[in-house]
Amino acid sequence: MNNNTVTEKKKRIFSAIQPSGTITLGNYIGALQNWVKLQDDHECIYAVADLHAITVRQDPKAFRQNILNAYALFLACGVDTEKSIFFIQSHVHTHAELAWILNCYTQFGELSRMTQFKDKSAKHADNVNAGLFTYPSLMAADILLYQADLVPIGADQKQHLELTRNIAERFNGIYGNTFRVPEGYIPQVGARVMSLQDPKKKMSKSDENVNAWVGITDSPETIMKKFKRAVTDSEARVCVGEGKDGINNLIGIMSAVTGKTNDEITAEFEGKGYGDFKTKVGEAVVEKLRPIRESFEKYVADKAYLEEQYRKGAEIAEKISIRTLDKAKKKIGYLPR
């Protein structure tokens, strides 16, 4: 066979996002936009992480709608069920089963060092449940079930991925090669979008100041209003620099939604004021999000189509993941049914 005709096997990627009710511009630029790009040259497996979501109390009716909305929204952003496997986590029983097994190969000390557990315990002091503590073992199960090569991560998830690697290596060390040890994949552009009101903090929908974050289904008027109110500095010069957190953030957002480099943006706004720049960033974001909002409304109105897609995704995900679960159970010594 001619070497030129040999195609390199695509690397497998796994990623999941919780159905929080609102996906922010930060979620889109940091994760979803990259999910879409990765589909072309990777084998992608994506999930709506609804099992993870119940560490915080959920209203059942709102939760059900949030799960459906999240699935529709990811499709609207460009997740393609012809290219990727895309499912709802709670529809695939192997996740919870492997999570219990991995709990028994995760050390108490490792879990107690997780900064996210400390942060969330402080935030939800009245509900510090065991799931909040063992959450990283479920995350490890999500990834290891699919023998993922790569996991797209933000800076705040490095610790969880490191733990996943440790668990996989520990299990493999005891029982022989069972799980692929995944690598982190950190996107080059737009990995971290900051608050529009406090640019030292990550953009988050839990921010009490509604002007701090932009939802990707926000109306154009709302988006423009939030960008016009964005915090800047007193220098009135559009360029990346120290002490210019607000402008640095806006330039990063502009770059992520238009594809222009920081230098191109700086040159374009040479001699122009912040008011003009904030308006242009807002307009660029509105145009980027417009087709997503329109597609989302179309998908949400077609429940039969959504159901067909998430059922198909769950069936494929279960077939793949059950092979890994069965392999792990056999190595441990469980009797097959």
Which positions are catalytic?
A: 120, 202, 205
Alpha carbon distance 14, 20 (integer Å): 19
- Cα(326)–Cα(274) distance, rounded to whole angstroms? 59
Query: Which 3-state string (H, E, C) describes 249-264?
Result: HHHHHHHHHHCCCHHH
Residue that has been written with the tokens 């930060």 in this structure: 26
* Cα(219)–Cα(188) distance, integer angstroms: 29
CB within 8 Å of 29: residues ≥ 6 apart: 190, 193, 253, 256, 257
> What is the 3-state composition of the chain as percent helix, strand, coil, each rounded to the nearest 5?
55, 10, 35
Count how many Cα atoms sit within 13 Å of the Cα of residue 214 in the half-sphere of its side chain.
30
Q: Which of 77, 15, 20 is nearest to 45 (CA)?
A: 15
The whole-angstrom separation of Cα 30 and Cα 26 is 6
Beta carbons of 44 and 112 less than 8 angstroms apart: no
Tokens of 200: 């030292």
Query: Residue 335 is encoded by which pair of tokens?
Result: 């009797």
